A and B are shown apart, each in its own frame.
Chain A
């Protein structure tokens, strides 16, 4: 078996496995842990303002910050109910 894998190089080196795993987990943790502190407050205030005009609940507003290379995108998603207030 070891002779075969020696000739065919079938087994991936563990260092490259480590690098792959780390780049995934670090990217994920950066997006969650490094979100700015103002996001929850922003979400709360948006709900307050919007609920003056339309009937929306806490779960109807999603605020997300995404990073793509050097560009940050603030995404605000508001699901409006079928019937306005």
Chain B
């Protein structure tokens, strides 16, 4: 059975696109046929993060409007065999996204044999964000340990619980997964940052992982390589763990405890 995953947060800049790129790549690396769709009509960025911006010809709105078919619009990812990107339109306005149109695109993807469909939501609670979560089976709520992000995540959870198809039709609710990103164990230890336990206690949904704050994310986006592919990077390992937990494998939480740098490290430097 295919699963539709929405990556959402309410607030902008918390790591939705980074997460969409990494978990869709992670699922494809595990052998699942996966599509990742950018719902940020007018402000597309997933193509840049995935490194396929120069290969965009058709987009989601073209497919919704019947100006192109899915085979023409889907871009094969350069890093993984089973991954395809469906970019957002850069020119049209958000009203071009209709519920019927989106539903048809998702159904067609399922018919084409896609097992996971990852919907990268835009920030906010407007049409694009609602469309991205309407047909979701699972939701990744990306939250930074910071007041405005936590509040906005709670808001988007309310929308998920009232406007998703699953909620409207009274089926099993959308499965919610909390992903705490840009986490700094040192600042948490110093009492300057909410801990992941605080965030979880406030939002009351199950935790699927913690992504540490890291310079590597910028390095990855500079090159158009999803962060999960980086070598020797905590962020890449953390995302691999998230994908494993999503697939029901047990993984202990990593990168949440602060380790004081040892004497050698302090003398000779290093990360």
Residues in chain A within 8 A of chain B (CB atoms): 13-16, 18-19, 21-23, 25-26, 29-30, 33-34, 37
Contact = CB atoms under 8 A, between A and B. Distances in A.
Interface residues of B, number: 19
A22 B192 contact: no
A79 B154 CA distance: 35
B158 A18 contact: no
Given A15-B188, A15-B193, A15-B195, A26 B162 contact: no
A16 B193 CA distance: 8
B202 A26 contact: yes
Interface of B: 146-147, 150-151, 154-155, 158, 161-162, 188, 190-195, 198, 202-203
Contacts of A16: 191
B195 A33 contact: no
A13 B191 CA distance: 5
B192 A14 contact: yes
A24 B55 CA distance: 48
Contacts of B158: 30, 33-34
17 contacts: A13-B192, A14-B192, A15-B191, A15-B194, A19-B202, A22-B147, A22-B202, A25-B151, A26-B151, A29-B151, A29-B154, A29-B155, A30-B154, A30-B158, A33-B158, A34-B161, A37-B162
A26 B158 CA distance: 11
Contacts of B195: 15
Contact of A22 (B150, B188, B190): B150
Given A26-B202, A34-B161, A34-B162, A19 B194 contact: yes
B191 A19 contact: no
A15 to B, nearest CB: 5
A37 B147 CA distance: 28
B162 A15 contact: no
Contacts of A34: 158, 161-162
Contacts of B191: 13-16
B127 to A, nearest CB: 19
Given A25-B151, A33-B155, A34-B158, 9 more contacts: A13-B191, A13-B192, A14-B191, A19-B194, A19-B198, A22-B147, A22-B151, A26-B151, A29-B155
